[in-house]
């Protein structure tokens, strides 16, 4: 073996190795964090990214962000692990408990205190309990179950001694609180060798629709579902004779159309939010606004069609009235050749 081969083997051995066969812990940890924040703090917690690696305790210390809170966990067979929360996440948890919301303001650098630890200990234990319950029938419970918070470290340097510098499975979660007002990381480091027994498979005559495993599966299905939303600029009503006579090129006035109050509606016509029409990177965009006090507009009776269809002229080149009523939006009706479907396109306001 050459010197280059030896160096290459040492370098590859020092890299973090992703674990195998851990989809259960991945899903359960995401679910546990989100449920703990929702139940205990009444805030939204999203796991934007999660990575599972094999690390040593010394390597873990090098990963930790400044001013992170280090919670020591006690587990089966007197094994110990750690959950580390970055300063932004700790601040968000404490803000939710003290003022009822996450503020998102800049944080002055400071070391966490034991008071901080006491305030987030309940959230940590709730997340670990949900993680364990969700793994009741999963093999990952052998190493990920049975841990609870027992103390805190004020300095990360003793961490390798506390964890006996044993091989660890480290789950690194990128966290977003309250839609991104606070962002940071949460690390869960547990001994790679587990001590809980493997779950035994039991024949189930009925599906348990109340257990944590069912909630994890349901959340995954709901998160992966698609939703169609329609941005409604205006509503109008036309006489049936005009509707039946619509052809490509006709222009219909939208008397009450405004770009700063756009209704965002589902396929059932129910309004779920309000927004303001604009642009982002050259594309039409909708910025959500506070909809308090905004009244849903009723369909307005439109005037007669402004012009007869222009034969063989694309809708984009249809001439328009150079002096439309002030504040009146215009829409051009267009249709594909051979199609019975019409599209009502807004052409702006004057």
User: DSSP of 233-301, one letter per residue?
Assistant: ---EE--HHHHHT--TT-EEEETT--TT-EEEE-TTS-EEEEEEEEEETTEEEEEEE--TTPPPPPPEE
Name beta bridge partners: 283. Answer: 280
- Interatomic CA distance for residues 304 and 250, integer angstroms: 10
Q: What is the pTM of this model?
A: 0.56
Looking at residue 201, what is its pLDDT?
58
Residue with tokens 């849903």: 296
Written out in words, the top-level CATH class of the domain with range 12-199+206-223 is alpha beta
Alpha-carbon distance 37 to 29, whole Å? Answer: 12
According to DSSP, residue 109 is labeled -
Q: What is the pLDDT of residue 328?
A: 43
Work out the average pLDDT over 254-280: 81
331 Rama class: left (phi>0) / alpha (psi -120 to 50) / beta: beta
Using an 8 Å Cβ cutoff, are 52 and 188 in contact? no
How does pLDDT run across 112-127, given as a tens digit for each residue?
Answer: 999 999 999 999 999 9
- Report which of 75, 94, 98 is spatially closest to residue 85, judged by C-alpha positions: 94
Count the helix, strand and coil residues of the chain and give each as a percent rounded to the nearest 5: 30, 25, 45
Six token digits for residue 18 = 């992703």
pLDDT digit string (tens) for 190-200?
Answer: 999 888 888 76
Q: Residue 127, Cβ neighbours under 10 Å: how many?
A: 25
Flag whether pLDDT at 97 surpasses 60. Answer: yes
If you average pLDDT over residues 141-162, what whole number do you get?
92
Residue 211: its pLDDT value, please?
62
Mean pLDDT for 150-168 is 90
Q: What is the pLDDT of residue 350?
A: 39
Checking if the pLDDT of 269 tops 70, the result is yes
Task: Give Cα 105 to chain centroid, integer Å.
Answer: 20
Q: Provide the pLDDT for residue 348.
A: 45
- Residue 172 pLDDT more than 90? yes
Query: Which residues have C-beta within 8 Å of that of residue 28, sequence separation ≥ 6?
Result: 130, 131, 134, 135, 138, 140, 144, 212, 216
Question: How far is Cα 94 from Cα 122, in angstroms, rounded to an integer?
Answer: 12
Span 283-291, average pLDDT: 82
Contact 296, 313 (CB under 8 A): no
CA atoms within 13 A on the CB side of 59: 15
pLDDT at 268 over 90: no
Domain ranges within the chain, ordered by starting residue: 12-199+206-223, 230-262+297-349
> pLDDT, tens digit, for every residue of 37-93?
999 999 999 999 999 999 999 999 999 999 999 999 999 988 999 999 999 999 999
Given the DSSP bridges, would you call strands 283-289 and 230-232 parallel, antiparallel or unpaired? unpaired
For 204, counting Cβ atoms within 10 Å of its Cβ (0-12 exposed, 13-18 middle, 19+ buried), the class is exposed
Strands 251-254 and 329-334: antiparallel
C-alpha dist (Å) from residue 120 to 1, 155, 272? 52, 18, 33
179 DSSP 8-state letter: T
Name the helix (H) or strand (E) containing 150.
strand 148-153
């Amino acid at each position: 073996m050459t010197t280059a081969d030896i160096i290459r083997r040492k370098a590859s051995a020092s890299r973090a190795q992703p674990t195998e066969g851990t989809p259960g812990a991945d899903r359960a940890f995401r679910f546990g964090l989100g449920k703990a924040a929702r139940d205990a703090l009444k805030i939204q917690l999203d796991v934007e990214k999660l990575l599972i690696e094999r690390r040593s305790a010394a390597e873990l210390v090098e990963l930790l962000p400044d001013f992170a809170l280090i919670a020591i966990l006690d587990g089966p067979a007197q094994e110990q692990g750690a959950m580390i929360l970055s300063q932004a996440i700790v601040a968000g948890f404490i803000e939710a408990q003290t003022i009822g919301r996450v503020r998102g303001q800049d944080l002055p650098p400071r070391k966490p205190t034991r008071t901080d630890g006491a305030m987030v200990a309940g959230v940590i234990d709730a997340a670990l309990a949900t993680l364990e319950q969700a793994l009741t029938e999963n093999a990952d419970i052998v190493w990920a179950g049975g841990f609870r918070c027992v103390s805190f470290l004020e300095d990360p340097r003793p961490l390798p001694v506390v964890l006996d510098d044993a091989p660890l499975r480290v789950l690194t979660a990128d966290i977003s609180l309250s839609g991104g007002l606070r962002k940071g990381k949460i690390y869960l480091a547990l001994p790679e060798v587990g001590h809980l027994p493997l779950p035994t498979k039991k024949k189930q005559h009925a599906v348990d629709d109340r257990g944590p495993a069912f909630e994890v599966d349901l959340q995954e299905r709901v998160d992966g579902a698609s939703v169609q939303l329609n941005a409604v600029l205006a509503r109008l009503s036309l006489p049936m004779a005009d509707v039946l006579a619509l052809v490509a090129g006709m222009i219909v006035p939208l008397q009450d159309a405004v770009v700063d109050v756009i209704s965002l509606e589902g396929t059932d016509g129910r309004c779920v939010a309000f927004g303001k029409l604009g642009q982002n990177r050259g594309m039409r965009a909708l910025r959500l606004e506070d909809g308090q006090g905004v009244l849903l507009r009723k369909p307005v009776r439109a005037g007669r069609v402004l012009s007869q269809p222009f034969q063989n002229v694309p809708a984009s080149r249809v001439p328009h009235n150079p002096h439309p009523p002030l504040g009146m939006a215009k829409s051009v009706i267009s249709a594909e050749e051979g199609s019975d479907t019409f599209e009502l396109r807004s052409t702006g306001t004057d």
